[in-house]
């Protein structure tokens, strides 16, 4: 069931989103050669706790951490390990928190230190751009296929690949609500978005295959050919005129 949020629900979603935007900014600044993934998880938990939030990742299907850190060929759901991030690593950080029962979910990808090559830079920039282009399409009445097709067209034009096993989603009193927001689709098809819906759009992109495999830890999703991967995500409120990005960094 797709829910339309009331104004008091939206106020809580906005608080959750703002705190998550601040937490992600902090993590982004911490990504430097030599940082340990466990320190990112710890700093994140401390930050959201200090703001009155709890973790929605920890314990989700027994997920054992508070953020996901997915490095290089890892696409999503990397469990933070006792691992030091190296110069040139492509680091995707996926985060979520709950404020008074309302969830926010957001992800960024950053190249640590000095990028190894132009292709890595293009992968990260194009993945981010595909999210921005999709967000520009969001407003009351727009069909979900139009959002999906916007991501797909831009990513494919730029020669990258889109795994189809994972998608964006509605969000609210649960991290994952209806509707599903796929990263591939046909414009002007599917359900119409309505003002008051809150959704997550999250392009997940790989360099040279759309196939993924799940690692032995049963969580980490890796590109099937070990090519590099990137992921960006925002929690978004659909409005009459357009949308509001809830997980942007604000002071
Ligand atoms: N944030 C992810 C999503 O976008 C879900 C994280 S799975 C978890 O849907 F297990 F790590 F929580
Ligand atoms: Co999500």
pLDDT tens per residue across span 14-26: 999 999 999 999 9
Known binding residue 103? Answer is no
Distance separating alpha carbons of residues 189 and 152, to the nearest angstrom: 14
Distance separating alpha carbons of residues 216 and 61, to the nearest angstrom: 16
pLDDT at 222: 98
How many other CB atoms sit within 10 Å of the CB of residue 101? 12
pLDDT tens per residue across span 196-249: 999 999 999 999 999 999 999 999 999 999 999 999 999 999 999 999 999 999
pLDDT tens per residue across span 67-78: 999 999 999 999
**Does ligand 1 come within 6 angstroms of the Cβ of 96?**
yes
How many other CB atoms sit within 10 Å of the CB of residue 62? 8
What are φ and ψ of residue 28, in 5° steps?
Answer: -60, -40
164 touches 115 (CB < 8 A):
no
- Domains defined along the chain, listed by start: 7-245 (3.90.230.10)
pLDDT tens per residue across span 30-42: 999 999 999 999 9
Nearest bound ligand to CA 78? 1
pLDDT at 84: 98
pLDDT tens per residue across span 121-157: 999 999 999 999 999 999 999 999 999 999 999 999 9
Nearest bound ligand to CA 170? 2
Q: Can you point out the beta strands (E) in 22-176?
A: 67-71, 74-76, 90-99, 102-111, 168-170
Q: Which residue's CA is the closest to the ligand 1 atom numbered 6?
A: 57
Residue 190 tokens, joined: 């599917």
Strands 90-99 and 198-201: unpaired
Global pTM value: 0.98
Q: Which of 175, 177, 217, 219 to mutate for ligand 1's pocket (most ligand atoms within 8 Å of CB)?
A: 175
Q: Can you point out the beta strands (E) in the chain?
A: 67-71, 74-76, 90-99, 102-111, 168-170, 177-181, 198-201, 204-206, 212-214, 221-223, 229-231, 234-238, 243-245
Rounded to 5°, the CA angle 126-55-29 comes to 45
pLDDT at 172: 98
52 touches 22 (CB < 8 A):
no
* Rg (the chain; Cα; Å): 17
pLDDT tens per residue across span 80-94: 999 999 999 999 999
pLDDT average, residue stretch 57-62: 98
Distance 169 CA to ligand 2 centre (A): 6
**Cα 203 vs. chain centroid, distance in angstroms?**
7
**Does ligand 1 come within 6 angstroms of the Cβ of 78?**
no
**Does ligand 1 come within 6 angstroms of the Cβ of 106?**
no
**Does ligand 1 come within 6 angstroms of the Cβ of 41?**
no
């Amino acid at each position: 069931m797709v829910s339309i949020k009331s104004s008091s629900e939206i106020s809580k979603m906005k608080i959750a989103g703002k705190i998550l935007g601040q937490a992600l900014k902090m993590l982004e600044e911490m990504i430097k050669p030599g940082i340990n993934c466990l320190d990112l998880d710890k700093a994140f938990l401390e930050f959201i706790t200090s703001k009155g939030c709890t973790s929605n990742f920890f314990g989700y299907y027994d997920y054992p951490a508070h953020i996901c850190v997915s490095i290089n060929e890892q696409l999503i759901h990397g469990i933070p390990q006792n691992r030091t991030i190296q110069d040139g690593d492509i680091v995707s950080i996926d985060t979520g928190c709950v404020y008074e029962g309302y969830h926010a979910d957001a992800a960024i990808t950053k190249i640590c230190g000095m990028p190894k090559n132009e292709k890595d830079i293009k992968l990260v920039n194009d993945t981010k751009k595909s999210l921005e282009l999709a967000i520009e399409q969001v407003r009351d009445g727009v069909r979900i296929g139009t959002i999906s097709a916007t991501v797909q067209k831009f990513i494919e034009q730029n020669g990258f690949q889109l795994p189809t096993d994972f998608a964006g989603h509605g969000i609210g009193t649960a991290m994952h609500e209806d509707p599903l927001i796929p990263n591939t689709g046909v414009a002007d098809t599917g359900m119409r978005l309505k003002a008051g819906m809150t959704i997550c759009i999250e392009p997940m992109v790989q360099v040279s295959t759309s196939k993924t495999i799940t690692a032995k830890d049963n969580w980490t999703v890796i590109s099937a050919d070990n090519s590099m991967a990137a992921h960006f995500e925002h929690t978004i409120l659909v409005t009459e005129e357009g949308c509001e990005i809830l997980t942007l960094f604000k002071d």
